Amino acid sequence: MTINLKENERLDDLQRNGYQIIQNPEKFCFGMDAVLLSGFAHAREEDVLLDMGTGTGIIPILMEAKYHCARLTGLEIQEESADMARRSVQLNGLSDKIQIITGDIKEAGTFFKSASFDCITCNPPYMIGQHGITNPDAPKAIARHEILCTLEDVVSQAAKLLKPGGHFYLVHRPFRLAEIIATLTRYKLEPKRMQLVYPFVDKEPNMVLLEAVRGGKPRMTVEKPLIVYQSPGVYTPEIYDVYGY
């Protein structure tokens, strides 16, 4: 299928099932965090999945490639990103499996029925407040900073939309880990699995991957650290495996 690209858009190969994705580097492109989240998350073929703040649709597309879920939905507030996601879904012949909805995470409960998803994923804005923002309306600022939604918005809506026993997968920054765990438990999403991501073996972690279960019992497994680079510019075998190279 041929898809017309708009100004400044490009087509990237996802190295999975021959899938491609439309992106605009002038606006916002997905990062390693989204790919690592799709590698950390688990799903079944019969599962119904929601990705909140889906951007250009990278996580639903990768999760479909990996797990062939029954139905996947991406929710994205920025229409330009949602449009790229829809065209990528169409390009990959996934229109019968993946739906992209333009909407606000804070109002997710108005788009979907309560307790209607087996899995929810989210790669939310990490940064608090206005620090470092030059244009709060810019797509990159909205994706990176808590301008349009907060951590509590994400967690509260995930708790509302997950089925009992459903799984919530999140990637975030370690400096907010205490707040993240406290927020999850407050909304009855019990942290069950955690993995810290380190850029190099001798550096501090710069990402944390978390799995929580709605109504789960208290007990969390901390997985071995994930190291991104074995030397400058050279990924570790674990990262090549996540990327599917």
Architecture of domain 10-243: 3-Layer(aba) Sandwich (3.40)
State residue 245's pLDDT score. Answer: 59
Handedness of CA 170, 142, 93, 31 (dihedral sign): negative
pTM comes to 0.91
User: Over the stretch 98-143, which tens digit does the pLDDT of each residue have?
Assistant: 999 999 999 999 999 999 999 999 998 766 665 554 455 555 554 5
CB atoms within 10 A of CB 158: 27
State residue 144's pLDDT score. Answer: 54
List all residues 6 or more positions away from 5 whose beta carbon is below 8 Å from its beta carbon: 11, 22
What are the average pLDDT values for consecutive 10-residue runs of the chain, which has 245 residues?
84 91 90 94 97 96 95 95 96 97 93 97 75 52 58 96 98 95 98 98 96 96 96 93 79
State the amino acid at position 31 in one-letter form: G
